[in-house]
Amino acid sequence: MNKGIPTKKRVNTGLLLGIALTFALLIGLLSRYVSQHQPNAKVTKQKIVPGQINAFREQVNKMVSRYTVRRERGIPIVHPPAGSDIYLLARNYNWGHYILELERGKPYRLHLASLDMRHAIVVHELRLMYRIKPDEFKVVKFTPDKAGRFQLLCGEWCGIGHASMTSQLLVTDAPPQG
Ligand SMILES: [Cu+2]
């Protein structure tokens, strides 16, 4: 019987549509989750033009070369002074080749920007969750309230390498030795 063929086709289309809708719903839920769980930290945003991202990248490089205190498997551990400006530039699919080390209970101004598309910084234990858009700078006044080694994840689906877009954030109880 060839009556069965169109029915099967319809079922497949329905299934695909179902998968697409579920996916859209999941992304929607994740976005809500990201926007609802922001701590009551102060956030400022500033629209930027593409050229300004180079200046931001310079700030990142300056911070890394000035405040690298040691290396872990070749990766610079960057410990900026307590209360200073710190920088993270998100991109497909990493957070830069360094790990930030902060001090518990000290306030920082966390500058966020993206090189290519929407990402989101997520550190669950520190309730740090902020969207990062390619056309704006975001500054978050942020005081880490727990010491430890935390996973830094991307909270916005940004493509094939999204799941591997991870880094770490270290928080110490004291300034580094020496
Ligand atoms: Cu991402």
**Residue 166 CA to its chain's centroid (Å):** 8
Give the Å distance between the CA of 176 and the centre of ligand 1. 30
Give the Å distance between the CA of 174 and the centre of ligand 1. 31
Residue whose C-alpha is closest to residue 31's, from 117, 118, 112, 95: 118
Give the Å distance between the CA of 116 and the centre of ligand 1. 10
Cα dihedral: 18, 23, 28, 30 (round 10): 140
Residue 1: per-residue pLDDT: 47
Q: State how far the Cα of 104 lies from the Cα of 85, in Å rounded to an integer.
A: 15
Give the Å distance between the CA of 160 and the centre of ligand 1. 10
Give the Å distance between the CA of 2 and the centre of ligand 1. 47
Give the Å distance between the CA of 25 and the centre of ligand 1. 19
The kind and range of the H/E element at 166 are: none
In contact, 121 and 155? CB cutoff 8 Å? yes
Residue 51: per-residue pLDDT: 85
Residue 21: per-residue pLDDT: 83
**pLDDT tens, per residue, the chain with 178 residues:** 455 555 556 668 888 888 788 877 777 666 655 554 445 578 999 999 878 999 999 999 999 999 999 999 999 999 999 999 999 999 999 999 999 999 999 999 999 999 999 999 999 999 999 999 999 999 999 999 999 999 999 999 999 999 999 999 999 997 766 5
Give the Å distance between the CA of 155 and the centre of ligand 1. 7
Helix (H, G, I), strand (E, B) or coil at 119: strand
Residue 153 sits at φ, ψ, to 5 deg, of -120, 165
Give the Å distance between the CA of 166 and the centre of ligand 1. 9
Give the Å distance between the CA of 91 and the centre of ligand 1. 7
Q: State how far the Cα of 68 lies from the Cα of 77, in Å rounded to an integer.
A: 5
Residue 156: per-residue pLDDT: 96
Give the Å distance between the CA of 154 and the centre of ligand 1. 5
